[in-house]
Structure 1
Amino acid sequence: MTDPRKPSVLFVCVHNAGRSQMAAAFLTHLAQGRVEVRSAGSAPADAVNPAVVEAMAEAGIDISAQTPKVLTTEAVQASDYVITMGCGDACPVFPGKTYLDWVLEDPAGKGVESVRHIRDQIKTRVEALIADINTEPEG
C-alpha cells in the first residue's frame, strides 16, 4: 500500500533490465526509505542485464535478485513522479503526475566497461531528483 506522506517514483524503460533497474536501485539506496520506488518496462526482458548487475555491484548495490516487471496503468497512477528512459509513447499519462524523460544510452548488449558510464550518469540524475523531491512543498 502506498504511504500518503511518502513521495513515489516510477522508473520506466523498454525492457526494465538496465537503466530503470539502476535508477530504482540508486533511489532506494540513496533515499534510505524516504521515497517509494518502482520500476517497470513496456516490454520487459526475462532477466536483468548481467553487465548492469556487475556495474551496480561495483557501486556496492546488489540487484542480482531483481526481475523485470511489466508496466501497468496502476503503477503509473500510484506514482508522483514517472521517469521514462526511452519507452516512447508506451507510458500512460495522467494529470497531476510529474513526468521526466531521461535521455540515457541503453546498456543492452554492452559490456560492464560501457555500463559504468551509464550507471554514473544515472546516479547523478537520481541525486538531483532526491534534491528536487526534498525541496518540493508537501501537498
Structure 2
Amino acid sequence: MTTHVLILCTHNSARSVLAEGMLNHWARKLGRDVVAHSAGSAPSGRINPFALEALARAGVDIAGVRSKSWDEFAAADAPPLSIVITVCDSAAAEVCPVFVGRAGEAPVKVHWGYPDPSNAEGGDDGKRRAFELTRQAIGYRMLQLLALPLETMERAALQRALEQIALT
C-alpha cells in the first residue's frame, strides 16, 4: 500500500517543493512505494525559480511541480495521507484542515523546520547557495524517512521515529 506524505509550507513555493521533489526522487531510486505531495495554506501560485533550479541540478524530475492549496488534500477524493510534515514555522503554527489518513485515522504530524532560503543575502549567488543547502538538508531527512519500515510501523512508533529525525 502506498505511503502518501504531505509536506506543508505557507506559500508552497520553496521548502515544501524541495521536500516533495527530494522524497519522490529518493523513493523512486530506492524502489519504495512512497509518494510525496506538497501544499500551502496560502499558496503563491508559483514555484520559486531557485527551488526548481536546485532540484533540476540534482537530477530531480520537476515536471508537473506546482504551487497548490492544502485544501486539495482535505477533499473527499484526496489520497489517504500517512504523514504530514510542516517545513516552515508559520505553517506549523496554523490550524490545518482535517486530513484523512489510512483507515480513517488522522495522519501522523511532525515539524521539520528550515529557514526560508528565499531570504538569503548575497544576491542570486547567495540564494542559489541557500537553496542548495536547504535541498541537501531536506534530502538527508527524506533518506532517513525512507529507511523506516513505513509499511509495518505502528502509529506511535512512527511518530517517535519522525520526531527523532527532526533532531538530526
TM-score by length of 1: 0.84
Greater relative CO (CA pairs within 8 A, separation 6+): 1
Q: Which residue of 2 aligns with 1:92?
A: 97
How far apart are 1:63 and its partner, in Å? Answer: 2.0
Higher-helix-fraction structure: 2
Q: Which moved more, 1:57-66 or 1:116-125?
A: 57-66
Q: Distance in 2 between matches of 1:101 and 1:79?
A: 16
Q: Distance in 2 between matches of 1:29 and 1:64?
A: 12
Determine if the alignment matches structure 1 residue 81 to structure 2 residue 96.
no
Q: Across the two proteins, how many residue pairs are aligned to each other?
A: 134
Unaligned runs of 5+ residues in structure 2 are: 100-104, 121-126, 155-168
Select which of 7, 12, 18 maps to 1:11. 7
How far apart are 1:136 and its partner, in Å? Answer: 5.2
Runs of 4+ in 1 over 6 A off after TM superposition: none
Q: Which residue of 2 aligns with 1:130?
A: 146
Residues 33-72 of structure 1 correspond to what in structure 2 (within 5 A)?
34-63=33-62, 65-72=64-71
1:87-126, Cα deviation, whole Å (9 max, x unpaired)? 1224235654211101111122441111111111100011
1:18-75, Cα deviation, whole Å (9 max, x unpaired)? 1111111111111116112211001101210011111111111142642100012238
Select which of 137, 150, 154 maps to 1:121. 137
Q: What's the % identity of the aligned pairs?
A: 33
Contact 2:27 2:35 in 1 (8 A): no
Larger-gyration structure (1/2): 2
Unaligned runs of 5+ residues in structure 1 are: none
Letter matched to residue 79 of structure 1: L
> For residues 28 and 77 of structure 1, do their structure 2 counterparts lie closer, same or farther at Cα, with a shift above 3 Å needed?
closer
Q: Distance in 2 between matches of 1:136 and 1:64?
A: 28
How far apart are 1:17 and its partner, in Å? Answer: 0.7
How far apart are 1:135 and its partner, in Å? Answer: 5.1
SS in 2 for 1:108: helix
